[in-house]
Structure 1
Amino acid sequence: MARYFGRLPFGTVIVNHTLDNPQGTLICTGANQNSLAGNPTLHGEMAAINNCSSIFVSSAYNMTPAESLAAFKDLSLYTNAESCPMCAAAVRWAGFREYVYGVSIKELIELGWGQLDIGSEEVIGSGVGMRDKDPEVVLGGVGSEESKVLFGWQFAGGDCPSGCERGERSDGCLPVELE
């Protein structure tokens, strides 16, 4: 039986740029896992934030919950697609120093993805009494062209990734059978 590639290539990394490493130090990652876990809230950003929180209070960092919450203000969140309203709210509540995303919600919609058509910058900017949680930097479109490839093949008309071809289902790509 053929196996279809995963359809949810949403990924996030959380990086610390305050340490001596000029490229930043990777703290944790997250990938969309809602289909695997049966949890609709496990988008890449939510998974990464949960992973960081777990790491911070573990023996690796041994932070108190309050220290864990405060640590986000020194971190940058990078995600390959603009955060949905749920994730944008979580980014805002976490108080990240920087929020950087690739493909915009508008571009995802153009590629055929169902989305809530509310931009993350609108969500982040709508906080009341939360100025201490404002990111210093909000930057969109970073790596957008490269990331569009990951999001474009899932629907009819999009090119499949290298080594794959469109299967019987118009929305899926299959690995090319090697002889």
Structure 2
Amino acid sequence: MKLFSAAILYLAYFNYASATDCQGLESTKAVDECYMKIALDYALIHNPGFPFGALIVDHTKNDISCYGANSNKKNKLLHGETAAFWNCTELYPSPTQDDMFNPGLDWSHQTLYTTGEPCPMCASQSIYRGVHRVVWGTSIPDINKSGRQQLMISMHDVVASAKIGANLPNPEVPILEGGVLKDACDHAFWCAFSVFRDQEYYAAMNKDGLEAYITDRNTRFPCKDVPEGHDEL
């Protein structure tokens, strides 16, 4: 089985970033880009065919709390964000076995970084888990236009739907930031999902007048190897 050499492709964009590289940065933009590099590197190492990678970072300490990558071979519901939330809960269990009211991690101090805009399932988990901020790379529409199925509901819409009792707005929803290292994330998804771009896909894209979108992606995001499978490494 030939696997897309996504890690090499990505590293052509950026030098590999370690967690310690992010700790000396001052601007929010620089910190976000640094952690997004790590999230994408992690995804490309663990599941290059579905490069959804996530980090949960304690932004008060500027330190990574846990990692997560899409684990569709083990459980298709373990999206990168879900895996990260699960890993953090396992690493930091409630000291009183009451995760709802006494979690082992102060989630209000955590920022979720994810290579793709969270789907409604993961967006909802971000709200229920209580993270302070969610940062993503590429968008749901661009993941879909890369060839992969998506629920076409933005995280902004999911957050807007969050209510407390009496239909009052939830004041503790996360702050949202999209488009961080978008080109690098788009490149990874475009190449990984080439196997899903069949005749039906091209016919629908052409019908919607999106031929130029495909041409632009093929020009800017060349793939050295086309993936033939989606196994995790």
Shorter-chain TM-score category?
Answer: 0.7 to 0.9
1:115 equivalent in structure 2: 150
1:144 equivalent in structure 2: 182
Determine if contact 2:92/2:105 at 8 Å carries over to the other structure: no
The answer to whether residue 133 in structure 2 is matched with residue 98 in structure 1 is yes
1:133 equivalent in structure 2: 172
Taking structure 1 as the reference length, the TM-score comes to: 0.78
| Shift of residue 70, structure 1, vs aligned partner | 6.3
Determine if contact 1:12/1:29 at 8 Å carries over to the other structure: yes
Secondary structure of the residue that 1:68 maps to in structure 2? coil
1:27 equivalent in structure 2: 65
Percent sequence identity is 32
Determine if contact 1:80/1:147 at 8 Å carries over to the other structure: yes
CA distance in 2, matches of 1:122, 1:140: 14
CA distance in 2, matches of 1:29, 1:76: 12
Taking structure 2 as the reference length, the TM-score comes to: 0.61
AA paired with 2:83?
Answer: A
Q: Where does 1:73-88 land on structure 2 (aligned, <5 Å)?
A: 73-88=108-123
CA distance in 2, matches of 1:95, 1:125: 15
Identify the match of residue 12 of structure 1 among 54, 77, 80.
54
Determine if contact 2:2/2:228 at 8 Å carries over to the other structure: no
Determine if contact 2:130/2:173 at 8 Å carries over to the other structure: yes
| Shift of residue 69, structure 1, vs aligned partner | 6.5
Per-residue CA deviations over 1:2-26 (Å, capped at 9, x if unaligned) read: 333441100000000112xxxx100
RMSD of aligned Cα (Å):
2.1
- 5+ residue gaps, structure 2: 5-47, 198-217
The 3 A distance-change label for structure 1 pair 28 and 70 is closer
Secondary structure of the residue that 2:86 maps to in structure 1? helix
Richer in strand (by share): 1
Greater relative CO, 1 or 2 (CA 8 Å, sep 6+):
2
CA distance in 1, matches of 2:82, 2:105: 17
The answer to whether residue 232 in structure 2 is matched with residue 159 in structure 1 is no
Determine if contact 1:76/1:99 at 8 Å carries over to the other structure: yes
Identify the match of residue 63 of structure 1 among 91, 95, 98.
95
Secondary structure of the residue that 2:54 maps to in structure 1? strand
Determine if contact 2:3/2:225 at 8 Å carries over to the other structure: no
Per-residue CA deviations over 1:105-161 (Å, capped at 9, x if unaligned) read: 0111121111010111111220110625311x211111111111110113156632x
Q: Kindly tell me the number of residue pairs found equivalent between the two proteins.
A: 154
